[in-house]
Chains A and B, each alone.
Chain A
Amino acid sequence: MTKRLAFSPARFWAIVVKEFIQMRRDRLTFGIMVGVPLIQLTLFGLAINSDPKQLPTAVLLADHGPQGRSLLYGIRNSGYFEFVRQVQTEAEAEAALARGEVQFVVNIPENFTRDLLRGDRPTVLLEADATDPAATSNALGSLRTVVNTALREDLKGPLAFLAAGDGPIDLRVHPRYNPEAITHYNIVPGLMGVVLTMTMIMITGLAITRERERGTMENLLSMPTRPFEVMTGKILPYIVVGYVQVGLILLAAHFLFHVPMVGNILLLLAVTLVFIAANLAVGITFSTLAQNQLQAVQMTFFFFLPSLLLSGFMFPFRGMPQWAQAIGEVFPLTHFLRIVRGILLKGNGLDEVVHQVWQIALFAAVALIIGVKRYRQTLD
């Protein structure tokens, strides 16, 4: 049997000291080790709220009686609904819902007051954008009590009988787009954006830092080539990879999870290109900043973490405070999620998604400009 060395505190300490020195030299790693917990604390502690309130709601008011108003006040006082606009027609309400401008539409029908006072139990329709069940369930749950208490003040004395029985009105909730509130109808399409963000940024981030780390960059730069050729040449293969991922997720969504695909898949694929390009541009920019592959991976996470948490993938976007929503609006993932869910679940067309698309495109352009500016054609 070979004689084993005894544990040496001196050698152990030598390793400890060396690790600390290396950690201190790698400023970025150190910064990220400190920064990630801070970001997580801020986001989980302050930004994320799984019980979103003050959700934007449109009102379609066809009756101007006092009871209608009381009902609306009551709904608003629940804290879950905030009336952001008044719409005049069904079509207008439909469009606002489809674009995701509002989460709910409250529909007070014509002759509401008359029917209420007659005891005819008028129908009040609440349409909800239920693509993300988590965002709407609490609001909808609160509704029935809200309605009854709201009208209690109005229905006193001789009208008290109306409040008894089944209640004074017939409240119908119409959860649109995902009526059965199936969570993975929302998650699976969203996953497409998450997977693309993660892999596209990381792979391109690695692609250029790898050249530098292995010393092949020097060789590449000594050849007569333009930065644009190198960048686009490196990006194209990963666009193909990105589409393979998209294809896999769409197939799984359809055959495994039976996610409804209401909209135009070709439109989705076309828009995905813009999204992939945005992520690749971020990856390229990171690779010009990172010194080595490890740093490129760390930067990817630094970007990925807030986009995951603030995009509305894991937690309802509207549940976050204004500042967090403002940050969330910057990330391409936020807009892509709206697009994917919009096309697949709501059947959005180009008109409804174009607003999101150009925000992704803008982001891509800025990232690419930084990347190309930072890319050096020399070793200086």
Chain B
Amino acid sequence: MTNDLAINVRGMTKRFGTLTAVDHIDLDVRRGEICGFLGPNGSGKTTFIRMLCGLLRPDEGSGTCLGHNVITESEAIKRQVGYMTQRFSFYEDLSIAENLDFVARMYSVPNRREAVRASLDRLGLTERKQQLAGQLSGGWKQRLALAACMIHDPKLLLLDEPTAGVDPKARREFWEQIHELAAQGLTFLISTHYMDEAERCHRLAYITAGKLLTHGTVTEVIAHSRLTTWSVSGPNLVELAQRLRTAPGVQQAVAFGTMLHVSGDDAPALEQAIAPFRTEPYEWRRIETGLEDVFIHLMDSAPERVSA
């Protein structure tokens, strides 16, 4: 049964002093799936990922990663996992090719030269292979990091905010690659802050203050929030938002460009609350609740981080 699960962990917990960075998180990710890992800064995403790849010892928890025990078999896990750190962590004073060669040696990749060449080709880095990693722009650094963490042909990739600081075009190309690789059977756990990226994932997990708040497909996550959303356009939306926020039944009023999204989890109460404002010149429309509405809702309703 665990065979089709790349990640299958229960009760993963990590404490730093009095702070519980990760608080009993259960997570299942199927093989070949792209799992988006979301949550505000400092919610424990990086800590959780580091526990999966053996960089941190969990204080509690059990389970398997690629069929290996996460507590006792971190060596075996490291060999089959590619981990891309949040901050660029390859050698800036080595060239692209030298970095890849180093990583390939560290993982004892068979046919090393060939693997490095193929990796450079696949990611379009061949022309730049002599360039020092430190001189690369953000997008190229990210390509290099991805190439490097895939050179040993991992089964699972843990990517920690891989597209932070990368331009939209490079991000799109990056995601196309991810989907191609997932189609070949690779599993991904990707942490991100971008909604468009979250929507590209097969499955989402949202954590805040170390706790897993919701998980499932995009549709499931939205349905699970039970939010109803109206959009409104017109003049003086800032003032309108302030008045709406105090109305019972309105849980959030958030500006989206020239529109305001007004949401609440009690549809009749929400409709009642906005009724007095449904006048000219405002234009109201009931819309599908989006992922972003849900996340803003989750962030606002989540308990403050506990640190006794």
The tally of residues in A whose CB lies under 8 Å from a CB in B reads 14
CA distance A216 to B94 in the complex (A): 12
Interface centre among A217, A222, A223, A379 (most CB of B within 10 A): A222
**Complex contact B55–A221 (CB within 8 A):** yes
Binds A, one of B81-89, B172-180, B215-223, B276-284: B81-89
Chain B residues with CB under 8 Å of A223's CB are 78, 103, 106-107
Identify B106's interface contact among A214, A217, A225, A379, CB under 8 A. Answer: A225
**CA A222 to CA B49, docked complex, whole Å:** 11
Which residues of the other chain, A, contact B55 by a CB distance below 8 angstroms?
Answer: 218, 221-222, 378-379
The reply to whether A224 and B56 contact each other, CB–CB distance below 8 Å, is no
Chain A residues positioned under 8 Å from B75 (CB to CB): 224
The answer to whether B85 touches A219, judged by C-beta atoms less than 8 angstroms apart, is: yes
Interface of B is mostly: loop
Interface set, chain A 360-380, CB cutoff 8 A to B: 378-380
| Complex alpha-carbon distance, A304 and B89, angstroms | 32
Question: Is chain A's interface secondary structure helix, strand, loop, or mixed overall?
Answer: loop
- The bracket for how many chain B residues form the interface is 20 to 34
Q: Is there an interface contact between A379 and B89, defined as CB atoms closer than 8 Å?
A: no
B54: which of A215, A219, A378 is its contact (CB, 8 Å)? A378
A273 shortest CB reach to chain B, Å: 26
A215–B92 alpha-carbon span in the complex (Å): 11
Alpha-carbon separation in the docked complex, A378 to B83 (Å): 14
Is there an interface contact between A379 and B56, defined as CB atoms closer than 8 Å?
A: yes
Beta-carbon contacts under 8 Å, B82-121 to A: 83, 85, 87-92, 103, 106-107
Q: How far is the CB of B76 from chain A (nearest CB, A)?
A: 8
* Cβ proximity bits A197-226 to B, threshold 8 Å, 1 near / 0 not: 000000000000000001111110111110
Q: How close is B30's CB to chain A, nearest CB, in angstroms? A: 23
Report Cα–Cα, A225/B102, bound state, in Å: 13
CB nearest neighbor in B for A377: B54
Q: Which residue of B lies closest to A379 (CB)?
A: B55
Is the beta-carbon distance between A215 and B106 smaller than 8 angstroms? no
Q: Are A222 and B53 in contact (CB under 8 A)?
A: yes
Bound-state CA distance A214–B78 (Å) is: 21
B245 at the interface (CB under 8 A from A): no
**Could you say which of B79, B90, B107 contacts A216, with CB atoms under 8 Å apart?**
B90
Q: CA of A378 to CA of B106 in the docked complex: distance in angstroms?
A: 17
Q: Chain B interface (Cβ within 8 Å of chain A)?
A: 50, 53-57, 75, 78-79, 81, 83, 85, 87-92, 103, 106-107
Binding site for B on A (CB under 8 A): 214-219, 221-225, 378-380
Interchain Cβ contacts under 8 Å between A and B, 10 examples: A215-B88, A216-B89, A216-B91, A217-B89, A218-B85, A219-B83, A219-B89, A222-B53, A378-B54, A379-B50
- Interchain residue pairs A-B with the least CB separation, the first 5: A219-B89, A224-B78, A222-B83, A215-B89, A223-B106
Other than the known A214-B89, A380-B57, what 7 A-B pairs have Cβ atoms closer than 8 Å? Answer: A214-B91, A215-B87, A216-B90, A222-B78, A223-B106, A379-B56, A380-B56
